[in-house]
Amino acid sequence: MVGGDRAADAHRTGTAARIVALAYSGEIQGYLAPCGCSKPMLGGMERRGAALARLRRAGPAIAVENGDLTEAAERQDELKAEALAAMLSELRYDAVAVGEKDLALGFQALISLQARAGTPFICANVDDASGNPLFGSSVTVTRKIGGGVLRVGIVAALSPRLADRAALPAGEFRIAVPYVALRRALAELKAVHTRVLLFHGLRDEASGLARRLPGLDLVVYAHGPDPPPPPVRVAKALLVGGGARGKALNVASVSTSGKVTGVGRIALGEAAGSDPAIGRLKRAYLDRVASEDLLGRMARVAAPGGATYAGSGACAPCHAGAARSWQSSRHATALRTLVARHEDRDPECVPCHVTGAQHEGGYRHGDDHLAGVGCESCHGPAAAHARSGLAPLPSRGGKAACLSCHVPDHSPSFRFEVYWPRIRH
C-alpha cells in the first residue's frame, strides 16, 4: 500500500520504470475547487492537475474518472460540466465512465462534453430508446514500460438502481443488465494485460460483478463513503471505492505482468500544489458565471414576516460594543476572501459570505452595506428595529444560524463551543 506522495515514489524504487500508476476517482459533483472557510480543505482540480503531473514525471500513468461530474440540477452545473470537460482534456484523461447524473444532462450534452474533453465517455449498458448503444463499451490504453508495452482494457457500466433514482430525460435512455453488457464488452477486449471495470454503482453490486466476471483485475465502485474503506480482493479483482467531491486522487500500481499490486491515496491538500493551466480554466468558468449573472438570477424567498435588512452599519450607533466585536471578526471581511479568488459572483459561495442573500431585499452584488456576515445574518433582518428602536429586535439565531453555513464539508474543523467565544458579544 502506498499513500500520499509515496504513490509517486513507488515508481522510483526497485522496479522503477516497470510499474504503471493508474489514477482513478469519481463523483466530482461539481467541486472544481476546495470549498470552505477553515482548514484542512481538500480537493480541487488545480491540485489534481499538480498531483497527476508528479505521477507522470515519476513514470507511466493512466487517468480515469468514474462518473457524476456534476449534480446536473441547474444552469451552473452545465457550466461546470463544460469546464470540467476542458480540464479533463488538459489533464489528458484516458476514459470517463458515465454516471446517472451525467445522463441527466441529456445525450446531446454528453456528446458535446465528450468532444470537448477529447476523451472517450464509456458505458456498456446504456442504449437509446431503440436499444442501440450510445457510448463505447470499452477503451484500451497502452503504456511503454521498459522495453515492452502494457495494455490496460477499461470497461464501464451504470447501475440500473441508480439510474432509476435519477431525473433522466423521458424516453431518452434504456439501461440494460450490467452483467450481460460487461461480459460482451470484456470478450471484445483483445490482448490486454489488465482489465479494469469502472462501475458506477454501489459496492455490493460491484462485488457481485467481480465474482461473476473473474477476468477483472480492478473494480472501482461509486456512491460509497469518502474516504473509501480499504480495498478487498473479490475473486481475482481488487475492489475499491472511487471517493467523492475530488478530495483525493486514488492510485493503483500495475506491474509489468498486469497485476494490480496495491492501491494508495493522494490527499489533495495545500501541499499538493496547483496546476496553472487548470487555474486559468477555472477562472474562465468563473467569468462565465459572472457574465450570466447567476447570482442575480438565484431564487430568493421573502424574509419572515416581510422584514427587510438594514445592514450592520445601522446597528452600530446603539450597539457600539457588539459592532466593535463584529468588526474585528473574520465575519466582517468574509466577502473579501471570495473577491480574492474571483468567486464573489458565484451563487454557490456568496450566500455564506454576505447577509441575507437567500431573501428578497438581501444582498445583491455591489450592496456594500450587506457585504460580509453581518449582524442580521444571526439576528435576522432588522430594518424596522433600526429605524425606531421600538420594534423588537429579532431573536438571535444561536447555534442553528452558525450551522447553516458551517457544515462539515465546508468547515470540517468547526465546533460551536470552541468558536462561539471568539465572537460572543
The reply to whether 292 falls in a domain is no
Which positions ≥6 away from 333 have C-beta within 8 Å?
Answer: 372
Q: Which residue has the cell 470537448?
A: 116
The reply to whether 370 falls in a domain is yes
Query: Per the structure, how many domains does the chain have?
Result: 2
**pLDDT per position as a tens digit, 249-296:** 999 999 989 999 999 999 999 999 999 999 999 999 999 999 999 999
Confidence of residue 410 (pLDDT cuts 50, 70, 90): confident
**pLDDT per position as a tens digit, 112-126:** 999 999 999 999 999
**pLDDT per position as a tens digit, 349-358:** 999 999 999 9
State the pLDDT at residue 2: 35
The reply to whether 146 falls in a domain is yes
**pLDDT per position as a tens digit, 54-109:** 999 999 999 999 999 999 999 999 999 999 999 999 999 999 999 999 999 999 99
Q: Both 111 and 250 in a single domain?
A: yes
Asked if the peptide bond before residue 40 counts as cis, ω within 30 degrees of 0, the response is yes
Q: Both 313 and 234 in a single domain?
A: no
260: which DSSP letter? E
State the pLDDT at residue 15: 43
% pLDDT > 70, the chain: 93
CA distances from 29 to 33, 45, 83, 141, 338 (A): 11, 12, 13, 26, 21
Q: Both 270 and 353 in a single domain?
A: no
275: which 3 cell numbers? 496546476
Q: Both 267 and 368 in a single domain?
A: no
The reply to whether 293 falls in a domain is no
**pLDDT per position as a tens digit, 384-395:** 898 887 777 766
Q: How much is the mean pLDDT over the chain?
A: 91
Q: Both 255 and 313 in a single domain?
A: no
State the pLDDT at residue 64: 98
Residue 174 has pLDDT above 90, yes or no: yes
The reply to whether 212 falls in a domain is yes
Q: Both 181 and 310 in a single domain?
A: no
Q: Both 196 and 260 in a single domain?
A: yes
Arithmetic mean of pLDDT, 48-54? 98
Arithmetic mean of pLDDT, 390-415? 78
> Which one of 284, 313, 330 terminates a domain?
284
Residue 421 has pLDDT above 90, yes or no: no
> Which one of 227, 251, 284 terminates a domain?
284
Q: Both 64 and 161 in a single domain?
A: yes
State the CATH number of the domain containing residue 368.
1.10.1130.10
**Quick one: how far is CA 230 from the chain centroid?**
21
The reply to whether 290 falls in a domain is no
Confidence of residue 414 (pLDDT cuts 50, 70, 90): confident
Residue 11 has pLDDT above 50, yes or no: no
The reply to whether 265 falls in a domain is yes
Q: Both 190 and 59 in a single domain?
A: yes
Residue 215 has pLDDT above 70, yes or no: yes
Q: Both 142 and 236 in a single domain?
A: yes
> Which one of 240, 255, 284 terminates a domain?
284
Q: Both 309 and 400 in a single domain?
A: yes
- Maximum pairwise Cα distance, the chain: 85
Task: Round to whole Å and give the CA distance between 190 and 137.
Answer: 14
Residue 151 has pLDDT above 80, yes or no: yes
State the CATH number of the domain containing residue 205.
3.60.21.10
Residue 1 has pLDDT above 60, yes or no: no
Residue 6 has pLDDT above 50, yes or no: no
**pLDDT per position as a tens digit, 221-243:** 999 999 999 999 999 999 999 99
Q: Both 364 and 255 in a single domain?
A: no
The reply to whether 417 falls in a domain is yes
**Which domain range does residue 52 map to?**
6-284
Could you give the dihedral angle defined by the CA atoms of residues 382, 386, 390 and 396, in that order, rounded to the nearest 10 degrees? 40
Query: 229 or 411: which carries more pLDDT confidence?
Result: 229
- Going across the sheet that includes 61-65, the strands are 121-122, 95-97, 61-65, 20-25, 248-254, 260-267
CA distances from 22 to 47, 62, 133, 267, 305 (A): 17, 5, 27, 16, 56
State the pLDDT at residue 157: 98
Residue 20 has pLDDT above 80, yes or no: yes
